[in-house]
Amino acid sequence: MQALTQRNPWKLGVTHHYDLLLIGAGHAHLGVLRRWALVERPPGRIALLSAGPVAWYSGMLPGLLAGRHAPEDCQIELQSLCRAAKVELIISPVEGLSAAQQQVQLADGRTLDASWLSLNVGVQVSAPPQHGDAMHLLAVKPFDELLAGWQQWQRAPQPMAILGGGAAGVELALALAGKVPQLALFCAGHLLDGLSPGIRLRALGQLRQHAVDVREDCPISRVDNDRLLSGNEPVWRGQRLLLASGAEAFAWPAHSGLGCDERGFVLIAPTLQSYTHPTIFAVGDCASLPGARKSGVYAVRQGPVLAANLNAALRGLPLQRYRPQRQSLALLATGDGGALLDWHGYSADGQLYGRWKDFLDKGFIQRHRL
């Protein structure tokens, strides 16, 4: 966007207006941009606002940390995608949003407003309260900070714990088990809760083969110096904790005046519009819609509906309804090139499913490199 900046220099204190502002480079917005690059985009001035110049693909993160992928294999350059879609790219973190005024405050002091807004900003990782600084906490998001932190840890490997018994926690444990002296995985409930019993048993078997100490039904209440506590009982001692725990909403959407659920996620209608502010759309993990899980699979499926509805909104046409799929395929990398599969209660594992996962992951990256 350097050329755009030279032609249209930004002035602090001046509000810059757009017909449509896409906030966040999540899976759904990437799909929207790809669709507009291949087909005619809606009329008006449109921009993508992103915290960084690349979009990381989360599905390849465990393979990246395991050394199976290079960082550039897991990234989508936003500049070329935006150029192909004839959309401006603005790089800055969001400081705040006023839903009533349709204004976005950027961290660098700039202010943007738009007739229509679309949020696809993802979530942050929840962390237990921490007392003392003896334990270093590293979250799986943002991805660039995770990669830098992991590379620093690898200079002097130490025992490590992972907090989170979902798909991310299992994949990371299997990817990293051979790279640290000891590894423990803590789950608040059952491992892979919400998936089939078959894949849970297969995952437990894989984790045991990799000598991972799995602690189910062991919620971590706080970090006390170098100890993890469940309730008031110490359950682990060490200096490194990787956070792959539950999704937590960013504070600024709830503070914006948008209607949010009790956890701070934006309440949306089947048209993907905010219930309280219909000129604002929200998709992916930052949104709350019955039946739509917080998973990249669901965000990807929202992309075509969002693209159609943004086009219709800018042209004054009727909107479509998004219907979440009842089932979704789960493929969890096992760190050795294989994968665990869960589909409609059927489970399996092996190298074949790992090759399938690699094919799907690399295909997603290639489709968005325009």
**Average pLDDT, consecutive stretches of 10 residues, N- to C-terminus, the chain (370 residues):** 39 77 96 94 96 93 90 95 97 95 93 97 94 95 93 95 96 95 96 93 96 97 96 96 92 94 95 97 94 83 95 96 87 94 93 96 93
Kindly report the length of the chain.
370
Instruction: Tell me the one-letter amino acid at 309.
Output: N
What is the rounded CA–CA span in Å between residue 195 and residue 206? 16
Residue by residue, what is the 3-state secondary structure of the chain? CHHHHHHCCCCCCCEEEEEEEEECCCHHHHHHHHHHHHCCCCCCCEEEEECCCEEECHHHHHHHHCCCCCHHHHEEEHHHHHHHHCCEEEECCEEEEECCCCEEEECCCCEEEEEEEEECCCCEECCCCEECCCCEEEECCCHHHHHHHHHHHCCCCCCEEEECCCHHHHHHHHHHHHHCCCEEEECCCCCCECECHHHHHHHHHHHHHCCEEEECCCCCCEEECCEEEECCEEEEECCEEEECCCEECCHHHHHCCCCECCCCCEEECCCCEECCCCCEEECHHHEECCCCCCCHHHHHHHHHHHHHHHHHHHHCCCCCCCCCCCCCCEEEECCCCCEEEEECCEEEEEHHHHHHHHHHHHHHHHHCCC
Do 294 and 202 share a domain, yes or no? Answer: no
Whether residue 213 is contained in a domain is answered as yes
Kindly state whether residues 27 and 79 are assigned to the same domain. Answer: yes
CA contacts within 13 A on the Cβ side of 356: 13
| 117 and 133 part of one domain | no
- Report the DSSP beta bridge partners of residue 266: 260, 287
Measured distance CA(299)–CA(147) in Å, rounded: 24
Q: What is the pLDDT of residue 9?
A: 46
Residue 82 located in a structural domain: yes
347 is a domain residue: no
CA distance 27 to 122: 9
Inside any domain, residue 344:
no
The total number of structural domains that make up the chain: 2
Distance CA 343, CA 332 (A): 12
116 and 254 belong to one structural domain: yes
Instruction: Tell me which of 187, 218, 242 is where a domain ends.
Output: 242
Sequence-distant (≥ 6) Cβ neighbours of residue 243 within 8 angstroms: 125, 126, 127, 137, 138, 139, 140, 163, 164
Instruction: From 315, 340, 360, give the residue that closes a domain.
Output: 315
**Is residue 6 domain-shared with residue 101, that is, in the same domain?**
yes
Peptide bond into 53 cis (omega under 30): no
Residue 214 lies in a domain: yes
Report the CATH number at residue 18. Answer: 3.50.50.60
Question: How much is the pLDDT for 133?
Answer: 92
Residue 121 · residue 250 · CB < 8 Å: yes
Is 98 found in the same domain as 44? Answer: yes
Q: Residue 64 falls within a domain, yes or no?
A: yes
For the stretch 93-126, what's the b/e string if a residue is b when 16 or more beta carbons lie within 10 angstroms of its beta carbon?
ebeebebeebbbbbeeebbbebebbbbbbbbbbe
Structural domain that includes position 152: 126-242
How big is the CA angle at 183 (ends 62 and 247), to the nearest 5 degrees?
Answer: 50
Beta pairing, strands 15-23 & 46-50? parallel
Regarding whether 118 and 257 lie in a shared domain, the answer is: yes
In a domain, 150, yes or no: yes
What's the chain's average pLDDT? Answer: 92
Among positive and negative, which fits the CA dihedral 88, 93, 96, 99? positive
Residues 165 and 177 reside in one and the same domain? yes
Same domain, 196 and 180: yes
pLDDT tens-digit series, residues 110-152: 999 999 999 999 999 999 999 999 999 999 999 999 999 999 9
> Does residue 272 share a domain with residue 213?
no
Asked whether residue 353 is domain-assigned, the answer is no
Q: Tell me: do 112 and 254 sit in the same domain.
A: yes
Same domain, 28 and 93: yes
Of 298, 315, 332, the last residue of a domain is 315
